[in-house]
Amino acid sequence: MILLTGASGQVGWELRRTLAPLGPIVAPGHVDLDLTDTAAIRAVIRSVAPTVIVNAAAYTAVDRAETERDRAYAINAVAPGVIAEEGARLGAAVIHYSTDYVFDGAKRTPYTEDDPVRPLGVYGASKAAGDAAIAASGAAHVILRTSWVYASRGHNFLLTILRLAHERSELRVVADQFGAPTPARLIAQVTAHLLARSSSRGRIVLRESIWGTYNVVTRGCASWYQFASTILAFDPERDAQTAPGVVPIPTEDFPTPARRPASSLLDPSKLERTFGCRMPEWREQLALVMATIPPSAARVLDRI
């Protein structure tokens, strides 16, 4: 039995499909599971008694977290710790998702899993605290750290750019922050792959030798400006006459309540070595996701 939290989110929605071949899935919604209520978390886990807990739920409002610190920590730090404690009690495997925003962006080469975390804001700090709580729980666990997540549904940079391209003649996009755009579908596929490799006689068991954190990102590097420009280049509804101009701007020209790391590139080599998978290049993955978006759908989806 797989217990999946956050099934309505970008990654969770993809997980519901990719994990289905591995066993029955219980995916409680917000009404059924309040992640700010630790007693409710324990009650749900004990009722379901899963063999695998996949925690795709998170507080992801980076800027709002600066003024909603308690809620961000409740969902991103306290809840994962409780989930891991219950997982350890049941002997269940725990899969959790982390973020590149646990780093300050000062490193000139891609971050590895062993680099010390130095978050710049509440969101990154709350996620780092959740990672630490899981690692300290004694549960069999894998933490998948990713970056710049997007999908063909929900609220994300890809759909926002497509919507704004329909509304504006010029887009001003930050060009001095760098990362690896990573689709939710790829994250879900990697999750299913590592769980399938850990399956024996119908039961998923994470060997202690693989417990820990892994970077799950595409290969390559992009700025938000380059990401936006490439999105529009792949958009079948745009041509040279109708595409808006994309103007690169510095971070200081787009102030936000929360600071972002200047470079949050992650090195996926450890994941590739351990689980025998080669992470694809970000443009290749973007093209695949763009091919799944029906004409004009992005304009509608981003408003939902």
Catalytic residues: 123
Nearest to 108 by CA among 283, 227, 267, 251: 267
**Tokens matching residue 9:** 């989110």
Q: Rounded to 5 degrees, what are φ and ψ at 294?
A: -65, 155
> Is the separation of the CB atoms in 59 and 123 below 8 Å?
yes
If phi > 0 it is left, if psi is from -120 to 50 it is alpha, else beta; for residue 183 that is beta
Query: What is the chain's Cα-based Rg?
Result: 19
Beta bridge partners of 173: 248
- CA angle centred on 92, ends 88 and 98, rounded to 5°: 80
Q: CA-to-CA distance for 185 and 176, rounded, in angstroms?
A: 27
Residue 39 CB-half CA count within 13 A: 0
Residue 274 CB-half CA count within 13 A: 23
Q: What is the dihedral of CA 68, 72, 74, 79, to 10 degrees?
A: 170
What ranges in the chain are assigned the alpha helix state H? 10-18, 38-48, 69-73, 79-90, 122-136, 157-167, 184-197, 224-234, 269-275, 282-290, 297-301
- CA angle centred on 255, ends 58 and 118, rounded to 5°: 50
